[in-house]
Chains A and B, each alone.
Chain A
Amino acid sequence: MSGDLAVDVRGVSKVFQDDKGRQVQALQDVSFQVRRSEIVALTGRSGCGKTTLLRIIMGLEQPSGGSVTVDGVPVQGCGPNRGIVFQNAELLPWRTALGNVEFGLEARGLPKAERREAAERAIELVGLGNAANRRPHELSGGMRQRVGIARALAIDPAVLLMDEPFSALDAQTREKMQGELLEIHQRTGKTIIFVSHDIDESVLLADRVVTLVPDPGRLHGVLDTGFGDSTDLDERRSSAEFALRRHELLQLVHGREIQQQDGVSI
């Protein structure tokens, strides 16, 4: 069992102090597991603690209770086994695309030549080979997001964490990036946990979808998707499974409301 387990979130709670000193329970007793090479989506309404959970897994935030282990090792701050992609890419504006990808490798103290090579490989992987020397302000939003992904991939983490990686993109670019993500996943076999607001995106990309509900943020349900071996987005989208899973997820997310509607219509 443990050999197959990549991320183990156990009874994680998080209490924040807001500016007025009041306690805000962002997460309450959240537990779930992610298997190696699995893609898991975190979804749920705004404010249900998705970002907080991702940040706890990354080690950017300390849980108030519970624990997270990655590859059997408890999470204590940052670590080379996890790479994160931020919602708005968060590139360093004074560095080129390649320089940004190198950042994580520098922090690791890799020799210059090795660093350069790993960064170039990562930037090729996201299809930005010919924009490597441009600064972020010379890149489009989608390209910036890809640099962010390359930066996380370059350190070769076991687990890739992504916070709404495509939400700032237009529909067409988003679709393209979703396809690329699946391709990267195929090629690298990374474990991926991504946050998404988008029901379709969650169902399309993830092997399992974890849904949270707010006030306080807690686990609501876990949905298995499963498209067999198909990694083609169009194929997935037009499959019967997609419609079914999508409906199931909607039901899960909106809970009672849909059931009542169904009840009325019957």
Chain B
Amino acid sequence: MTALADQAAPPVDDETALSRRMRSQRRSGRDRLVTAAGVVVLLIIWEVAARQVDPILAAPPSAVFTALIGMIADGSLPVAVWESAQPFLVGYLLAIVVGVPVGLLIGRFRVVEAAIGWLVIAGYAMPMIALTPVFMLWFGLGFAVKAAMVMTMTVFAISINTWNGVQNVPRTLIEVGTAFCASQPRILTQIVIPSVIPSIMTGLRIGIGKAVVGIVIAEFFTAIGGIGGVIIDAGHSFQPDRMFAAVVVLMLAAVALTGLIGLVERRLAPWNRSIAGGAH
């Protein structure tokens, strides 16, 4: 293995632990109750504290909720969500379509690893936010720049996790293929790819978080439309209730999408879950 590969080998995100916890948590009724109580207490503290402050600076949950209802009723929120969702989806899907094959190729072929492995590591390590101004020059201020930001933020996480997965395919399983005279394509489709699916799903799950940051950053900079646009506009016009409402929507969307990926993973790789979950 090359030095690059060794660097790439450990689990590839600090968010991994968090998302794994979200995924594998099987809560008892009591745990749920405690969580609910925690949420209520936090909301009460927030409510009380926010009422002491100038309404230009903060909004209590009640006001945020009212704003949220209002924004749904007047259609501004659904429009904004839809405006964000489209480039989000396009960018995210592009990241999958590019990231997974690239990761597979780097992991499977030394030449490809030597050629572009460094690029993926650099891309993953670098704060892509720094590229936003350049992206605005290249892609303008509309749909394209948002999709491009999402894609760039996400693709490296997906690639590097896929790559990592290919490297961790047990050599012994590949040998099973060799011993039973399986052809190379058969080894790839029947052994390598199924082994890598859990790693790909990890990449997709981490990618959701990255993609959400990407879309928001793009909309902050361009300040045109979408949830990010709503947040910026509300901030600039001193409407913290609207701002927080948009932030809450963003948060819920990210959690829901991560959960969705977890669901897909459980369908695609049920064996993995029962092996990993067995430790708890």
Contact = CB atoms under 8 A, between A and B. Distances in A.
Contact of B179 (A84, A88, A94, A138): A84
Given A93-B275, A135-B271, A137-B278, A108 B181 contact: yes
Give the size range of B's interface with the partner.
Answer: 20 to 34
Nearest to B197: A94
Interface stretch (B3-11, B115-123, B170-178, B212-220): B170-178
Interface string A51-87: 0000000111000000000000000011110001010
B170 to A, nearest CB: 8
B176 A106 contact: no
A138 B274 CA distance: 9
B194 interface: yes
A104 B177 CA distance: 8
A84 B191 CA distance: 18
Contacts of A92: 173, 176, 190-191, 194
A27 B178 CA distance: 22
B20 interface: no
B109 interface: no
B183 interface: yes
B172 A103 contact: no
A107 interface: yes
Nearest to B272: A93
A109 to B, nearest CB: 9
Contacts of A78: 178-181
A107 B172 contact: no
Contacts of B51: none
B247 interface: no
Contacts of A60: 175, 178-179
Contact of A155 (B180, B275, B278): B180
Contact of A103 (B175, B176, B183, B275): B176
Contacts of B257: none
Contact of A94 (B172, B178, B180, B269): B269
Interface in B158-212: 170, 172-173, 175-183, 186, 190-191, 194
A90 interface: yes
Interface of B: 170, 172-173, 175-183, 186, 190-191, 194, 269-272, 274-275, 278
A93 B179 contact: no
Given A137-B275, A137-B278, 15 more contacts: A60-B179, A80-B181, A92-B176, A92-B190, A94-B271, A103-B176, A103-B182, A103-B190, A106-B190, A108-B180, A135-B270, A135-B271, A137-B274, A151-B180, A155-B180
Helix, strand, loop or mixed for chain B's interface? Answer: helix
Interface of A: 58-60, 77-80, 84, 86, 88, 90, 92-94, 103-104, 106-108, 135-138, 151, 155
A107 B181 contact: yes
Contacts of A108: 180-181
A78 B176 CA distance: 10
A107 B271 contact: no
B275 A90 contact: no
B176 A90 contact: yes
Given A107-B177, A137-B271, A94 B194 contact: yes
B173 to A, nearest CB: 6
A120 to B, nearest CB: 18
B112 to A, nearest CB: 24
Give the 10 A-B residue pairs with the shortest CB-CB distance, closest first: A104-B180, A107-B182, A78-B181, A93-B271, A94-B194, A107-B180, A84-B179, A90-B172, A94-B271, A90-B176
